[in-house]
Structure 1
Amino acid sequence: MFELLFCSLLTILPDFLIRRFVQGKRIGKEITLYSVWFELRYGIVLCLILTVSLITLIFYFHPTSTTAVSSFRTVPILPEGSGRVIETYVPRELEVEVKAGDPIFKLDSTRQEADVVTATQAIAEIQGEIALAQGELAVATAQVEQAEASLKQAQDELDTRQELFERNANVVSERDLEKLQNTVAARQGALNAAKANQDLVETKINVSLPARLNSAEARQAEAQVELEKMTVYAGVDGTVSQFVLRKGDIVNPLMRPAGVLIPADAQRERIIAGFGQIEAQVLKEGMVAEAFCGAVPFTIIPLVVTEIQTQIASGQVSTGGSLYDASQSVKPATITTLLEPLYEDGLRDLPPGAVCTVNAYTNNHERLASGEPIGTGEFVFLHAVDTVGLVHAMLLRLQALLYPIQTLVLTGH
């Protein structure tokens, strides 16, 4: 309507003035309800053409999105396993502020506590085996010393008899020498066995038992981790919402979350808007935009386009039980665009999740001021594009003014 009134001032009004003051035709005489089309046909046709062109120019180069929302991130409150709740730490309120590391609720941990006790007992048993092995090592060392002394005694006896045999063969018989040699060999074997037993005990103390102890400690640490998982903590600072969990409830991470944690740094950051696919060639990162949200009436929020999703959701293909049929994407999806406030704390007063209307504006000022050669027609066209953006901005402000009346008075909401 605004565009029609504006265009009529440039077309129908001059046509009427010519008819009235140049040709002398008056309303109610020569210009009546039945002859107005014939008399003002040039102005009416030009007005319609100019209005359609103006509307097309405005909405194409300065696109609008009515599907914009103040987005925020949520984190589901879930344990890593299912179980029955035995204690909750969050008060029964709609929203509760929590800090990172604050406990939220605890599941029944009887089995996990038993596993920790079992793992601790296993460590104590292995430590006892290590102490026992230390005693075995002392016994094995004493046995080696005893075997060495016996071997030395037998070797000395053999050396003495051998020397006597060499001096006088009649003093010592060959049979006695053979017995002494066998005795030395036997005691040498006993010494080797004692050393082998000593090495075995040392290996047991230095390798086998420490490895078992490390394994037992790892099992204890694993059991302790599983026990700690039974208590769910807040991972970040934020707000716990929709927490209806009570003592005795069953929590399953696949079917029933305990509530929602809204991180403090994930609120009032940006607006996600969906623009029509016809705007794909117009939308650019860095475009200035404005938003009007019903949650903050009579307020226009300056924004800037920071990111444009290159993929359109209607074309995605995922594996399933049936082949993808293009006819299923009858409704065209929008171009997802991220917008952030142009000024710091620009979304401070906007509640997260609020629905908004967003206008993005094409700006050719830098190109016009760059000094690059531009034709006259293009120069006029670019100026016209930037100028008609004012009309779209006025329409957005008019919507912001009329929104409370439409919502509270006309619709009764």
Structure 2
Amino acid sequence: MFELLFTSFPVIIRYFQLKRRGEAMTVWNMRTAVFTWAGLAFLLFFLIFYFHPKSYSGVVPFRTVSVVAQSAGPVTELNVRNGQRVAAGDLLFRIENSSQVAALMQAEAQLGTLAAASIKAEDSLKVARASVAQIQATLDEQIIDLSDAQTLLDRNVGSQDAVQKLDAAVKVSQAQLQAAQAQVHLAETDIAETIPAQIKSAEAAIASAQASLDKTEVRSFSPGLVTQLTLGVGSPASTLILSPAMMIIPDRPEGLPVRFVAGFSQVARATLYEGMPAEIACDSNANFSFRNSALPARVAFIQPAISTGQVMPGGKLLDPNNLKERGSLLVYFELEYPEHEKEVIDGAGCIIQTYTNNLSGTSGHVIAATGVIKAVGLRLKLWGALISGVGLAGGGGH
């Protein structure tokens, strides 16, 4: 509409010329003015729509966190409600945990048994060492007695039977000493290796049992707002990601700027550039005072790939004929002034109008000036959305 009005001056001038001359206005004497008007309108349309592309698909993207249980069972305690804010680590709900508690108690009892076994092994080591010392003393005495008996026998004073009995006693004591030393070694092995390994195994069993018990307590991993809570005390907790117990809309990390995304026609790739100025008008920001209704922004990033060309392995070969619908060019925008971020609602639908201002020379200034028409049109669109009450409806990028 504005383009037609701004380029209609040849027709208006010709009309007043004919009126001043007193001639009737006909198709023949208006042909030059009409063709001039059509040419100027086409040129202006081209300049405006090519160098100042617009998208109706703008949106403020945000993340959601699906909350599912890691352990199956009925819910015994529910600690949140819809619309409640939670912090990281807050308890959301508990699941019936009698089997997990029993497993933990059993593992702890096993560790206690091993602690007692360690004390017993220490006592066994002391007894075994004392036995070794006692047998060694007896053996030393028997060796001396055997030596004396052998000396007497050599002097034809002693008897052969006494020597044989003492020799047999020495051999028995030596065997007993070896057995006692083996008991010492066995006790030392139990204390140094066997029991510590068993204790580590028991501690691992306790950690595993504690982890299983912890899974019966579902906590929030990020601060945010609870929504779509479908859980109640007594209902079974779902472990399927496709059937979450609730959703959490996490708070935006501090220092992370709000970004808008929009899809533009692929032919706009030659015009769009990073740093390009833009205006963003969202349904959620429209108001009668027009305060913060059209927010200044800039292009932050242009995705270097079109989503419809994505190829993933599957059971069928890719057929390009199935991709007749052209994908859009994904563009990210950031607000020019950070204080406007608090005015934006996550998920809001927006119209995004861009303006080319990077061309030099007179033609560049003229093209940049034509952006005023698009800016006026954007505000008329806002006004119409308020009057009609249907929002910033539209379709397609231009």
Q: Specify if TM > 0.5.
A: yes
Shift of 1:171: 2.1
Taking only aligned residues, the RMSD between alpha carbons, in angstroms, comes to 2.2
**Are 2:260 and 1:271 equivalent residues in the alignment?**
yes
C-alpha separation between the residues in 1 aligned to 2:96 and 2:34?
79
1:254-286 per-residue CA deviation (whole Å, 9 max, x = no partner) reads 242011111112698221111111112222222
Secondary structure (helix, strand or coil) at the match of 1:345 reads helix
CA contact under 8 A between 1:268 and 1:348: conserved in structure 2?
no
1:284 paired to 2:260? no
Alignment of 1:323-342 (within 5 A): 323-342=317-336
1:17 deviates by 4.3
Aligned partner of 1:157 among 124, 142, 145: 145
Q: Distance in 2 between matches of 1:360 and 1:46?
A: 28
TM-score (norm 1): 0.87
Q: Quote the Cα distance in structure 1 between the aligned partners of 2:158 and 2:32.
A: 153
- Whether the 8 Å contact between 1:268 and 1:350 is mirrored in structure 2 is no
Q: Is the 8 A contact 2:77 2:233 kept in 1?
A: yes
Look up the equivalent residue of 2:378 and give its one-letter code: L
Stretches of structure 1 that go unaligned for 5 or more consecutive residues are 369-378
Counterpart of 1:3, as a letter, is E
3-state SS of 1:265 partner = coil
1:45-84 per-position Cα deviation (integer Å, ceiling 9, x unaligned): 1222221222222222211110111221111111223332
Identity %: 33
Please name the residue that 2:347 is paired with: 353
- Partner SS, residue 380 of structure 1: helix
3-state SS, counterpart of residue 295 of structure 2: strand
Number of aligned residue pairs: 384
Tell whether the 8 Å contact from 2:257 to 2:334 is kept in structure 1 after alignment: no
Give the TM-score of the pair, scaled to structure 2.
Answer: 0.90
Corresponding letter in the other structure for 2:245: A
Segment of structure 1 superposing worse, 399-408 or 265-274: 265-274
Inter-partner Cα distance in structure 2 for 1:15 and 1:177: 152
Alignment-derived partner of residue 219 in structure 1: 205
Question: What's the counterpart of residue 317 of structure 1?
Answer: 311
Q: Deviations over 1:195-253 (max 9, x none)?
A: 11101111111211111111111111111111111111111211111113111222223
Alignment-mate amino acid for residue 73 of structure 1? R
Contact 1:273-1:336 at 8 Å conserved across structures: yes
Q: Which residue of 220, 236, 239 corresponds with 2:222?
A: 236
The amino acid of 2:2's aligned partner reads: F
Q: Work out the CA distance in 1 between the residues paired with 2:120 and 2:18.
A: 122
**What is the Cα deviation at residue 174 of structure 1?**
5.7
Distance 1:208 1:152, change over 3 A: same
Q: Deviations over 1:295-338 (max 9, x none)?
A: 11131111122122212111112222222222222222211222
In the alignment, what sits opposite 1:120? Answer: 108
Letter of the structure 2 residue corresponding to residue 204 of structure 1: D
Q: How do residues 12-411 of structure 1 correspond to structure 2 at under 5 angstroms?
A: 12-21=11-20, 24-26=21-23, 30-31=24-25, 35=26, 37-91=27-81, 93=82, 95-164=83-152, 168-173=154-159, 176-177=162-163, 179-254=165-240, 255-265=242-252, 269-297=258-286, 298=290, 299-364=293-358, 368=360, 379-407=361-389
- Which 4+ stretches in 1 moved above 3 angstroms? 14-21, 161-165, 172-183
User: Structure 2 stretches of 5 or more lacking a match?
Assistant: 394-398
Deviations along 1:154-195, one digit per CA (max 9) or x if unpaired, are 121123334445xx5312456654553443333223212211
After superposing the two structures, state which structure 1 stretch, 289-298 or 126-135, moved more. 126-135
